[in-house]
Amino acid sequence: MTDRTDAIVADQYEAYPYPARDPKDEAKRLVVGSPSHLAEIDHWVFGARRDPARPLNALIAGGGTGDACVMLAAQLARAGRPGQVTWLDRSAAAAAIARRRLEARGLTNVTFVQGSLLDLPSLGLGPFDYIDCCGVLHHLPDPAAGLSALVSVLAPGGGLGLMVYAPHGRTGVYMAQDALRRLAPPDRPLPERVETARRFLRALHPEHWLARNARLNDHIAGGDAGIVDLLLHARDRAYTVPDLLALLDGAGLATAALIEPARYDPATWLADPRLRARAAGLPWAEQAALAEAASGTMAVHIVYVVRAGAGWAAPDPADETRIPVLRELDGAALAAQAGAGGRLSFDLDGVSLPVALPPLGAAILRGIDGRSPLGAVLDGIGAPAERVRRAWAALYAGLNAMNRLLLAAPPGG
Ligand SMILES: C[S@@+](CC[C@H](N)C(=O)[O-])C[C@H]1O[C@@H](n2cnc3c(N)ncnc32)[C@H](O)[C@@H]1O
C-alpha cells in the first residue's frame, strides 16, 4: 500500500538523501553503530553459534546513504569473512552516495537494488540471514505491512536489526514540526521550507522543548538533510515499547535484545530500592515499558528480533569455546580507564552509567583480543580458576548489558 504522502516521502529522500555523507570522509573514519554491527549480529541474532565461515547474506532495507551497508561490508571484509550485503532503497540519490563511499573503501561485497521494500515478496531477492531496517518502518504508510514484507525474505534461523523512533527522547520534535507546518506549509518547495526551518531554529525560544532537548542533534549537525528528516518530514511516528512489541508480535517476531539491554532495565533508572524490587517482579515486557517511561530519555528503540518460536537462545557466557569480543573497545585501554577505583562509565542517552569492575576484571579485559576463546583468556590470567570464573561472570553481566562485551562463534561454529 502506498499513498500520496508516501510519494512525498520518496521525493524528500531524492532531494535530501539521508544521512548527509561525504564519501571523502571514508578515508578518515568508519561510521559504526547499532543495529548491524557485525559483533552484534554474531551475538544477538545468531547467539554466538553460527560458523563465521558460513557466508552471511544480509539485506539493508532502506539503506539510505549507506551507513549500515558500509559498516557491515567493511567489517566482513576486514575479518576476511564471506558474505554479501544488499542495499535496497527507493532513492537514486542515496544510492549514488552509498556507492561512492564503498568505492572509496574498495569494497566489492555489496549489491545495489533500487526499489521499495514493500515489493520484497516479488523482487526475487533473498532469502537473507540478516536484515537491517534502521529508521525506515516509522516513515511507511503501513509499518506492519513493511515489516511483514521483510519477514517474507528472512531465511530460517535468521534475524533482523530494527530501529524505530521513540517518543520521550523526541520531546520537542512534534511541536516544532507542527509550528513549521504552519510557517512553511508542505505545499511550498522543500528548499524554501528548509530556509524557514533554519530561521525558526535560529530564533528558537530557549524554553522550547526542542532547544532544551540535548539528545537531538540532526537539526544542528545534520545539514539540510538532518533538518528535513527531523522537522519537515512528511510522515514519522514514534513507538513506545508496548507499541513496538505489538508491531513485532503482529509480524510473528520475538525480541532477542533491546539495545542496550541496560537501558531497558528499570533498575538503571530507579534508585529507590523498594521501587526497584517492585519493578523486578514485573514481566519482562512491562519492565522494558517501565524503563522507557522511568528514563524519559529514549529517542529511538534498537531491537534485534528473530522468528517467534524459532528457539533463539542467548549466548552462553559459561561456554569457554566461545570468543569474547569487546565491541569497539580496547581491553587494555578500558582496564586502564577503570583505574584504581575499579569503575567504568558508559554513556547511555546522555546519561553516564557506572559499571563496577570486579577484582581480576582488568586482567580479563587485557586478555580479550577478539580472537582467543574464553577458556584461553581465563586460563591466561594465572589466578585460581574459580576466582577467575566468578570475575568473568560479573564482568560479562555488567558489560554485556551495555552491549560492549559480546560473544562470537569460533571457526567451525
Ligand atoms: C531516515 S532514512 C534511513 C537511512 C538508513 N537506514 C540509515 O539509518 O542511515 C530512511 C530511508 O528509507 C528509505 N525508504 C523509505 N520508504 C522506503 C520504501 N518503501 N522502500 C525502500 N526504501 C524506503 C528512504 O529513501 C530513506 O533512504
* Ligand 1 atom 10: residue of nearest CA: 136
CA 183, CA 12: separation in Å to the nearest integer? 18
Atom 19 of ligand 1, residue of closest alpha carbon: 116
Atom of ligand 1 nearest to the CA of 67: 9
Each residue's pLDDT tens digit, 118-157: 999 999 999 999 999 999 999 999 999 999 999 999 999 9
Q: Whose CA is nearest to atom 18 of ligand 1?
A: 116
C-alpha cell at 32: 559504526
Rounded Cα gap, residues 395 and 413, in angstroms: 24
pLDDT of 61: 98
> Which residues touch 246 (CB under 8 Å, ≥6 apart)?
none
Query: What is the rounded CA–CA span in Å between residue 407 and residue 27?
Result: 29
> Cα–Cα distance between 1 and 40 in angstroms, integer?
32
Q: How far is the CA of 363 from the centre of ligand 1 (A)?
A: 43
0.95 exceeded by the pTM? yes
Distance CA(123)–CA(22), nearest Å, equals: 30
283 by Cβ neighbours in 10 Å (0-12 / 13-18 / 19+) ranks as exposed
Residue 260: cis peptide before it, omega within 30 degrees of 0: yes
pLDDT reading at 195 higher than 80 = yes
Q: If you measure from the C-alpha of residue 348 to the centroid of ligand 1, how many angstroms do you get, rounded to a whole number?
A: 25
pLDDT tens digits, one per residue of 229-279: 999 999 999 999 999 999 999 999 999 999 999 999 999 999 999 999 999
Query: What percent of the chain is modeled with pLDDT above 90?
Result: 92
Nearest CA owner, ligand 1 atom 12 = 62
Ligand 1 centroid–CA 62 distance in Å is: 3
Cα separation, 258 vs 276, in Å, equals 20
What pLDDT is recorded for position 25? 98
Q: Select from 348, 181, 354 the least CA-distant residue to 260.
A: 348
- Amino acid occupying residue 39: A
Residue 341 has pLDDT above 90, yes or no: no
CA of 13, closest atom in ligand 1: 25
Pocket, ligand 1, Cβ cutoff 6 A: 9, 13, 18-19, 62-64, 67, 89-91, 94, 116-118, 134-136, 139-140, 229
Which mutation among 1, 8, 18, 34 tests ligand 1's pocket best, with the greatest number of atoms within 8 A of CB?
A: 18
340 C-alpha vs ligand 1 centroid, how far in Å? 46
Buried residues in 314-351 as b, exposed as e (16+ CB within 10 A): ebebeebebbbbbbebebeebbeebeeeeebebebbee
Helix (H) or strand (E) run with residue 154 in it? strand 154-165
How many Å apart are CA 86 and CA 306, to the nearest integer? Answer: 19
Encode pLDDT of 95-125 as tens digits. Answer: 999 999 999 999 999 999 999 999 999 999 9
Residue 1 pLDDT: 66
Q: Could you read off the pLDDT of 7-32 as tens digits, one per residue? A: 999 999 999 999 999 999 999 999 99
- Ligand 1 nearest-atom number relative to CA 118: 19
Q: Which atom of ligand 1 is nearest the CA belonging to 6?
A: 16
For 56-97, write each residue's pLDDT tens digit: 999 999 999 999 999 999 999 999 999 999 999 999 999 999
pLDDT in tens, 281-335: 999 999 999 999 999 999 999 999 999 999 999 999 999 999 999 999 999 999 9
What's the pLDDT score for residue 2?
79
Residue nearest to atom 26 of ligand 1 (CA): 64
Query: What confidence tier does 220 reach under pLDDT thresholds 50, 70, 90?
Result: confident
**Nearest atom of ligand 1 to the alpha carbon of 132:** 6
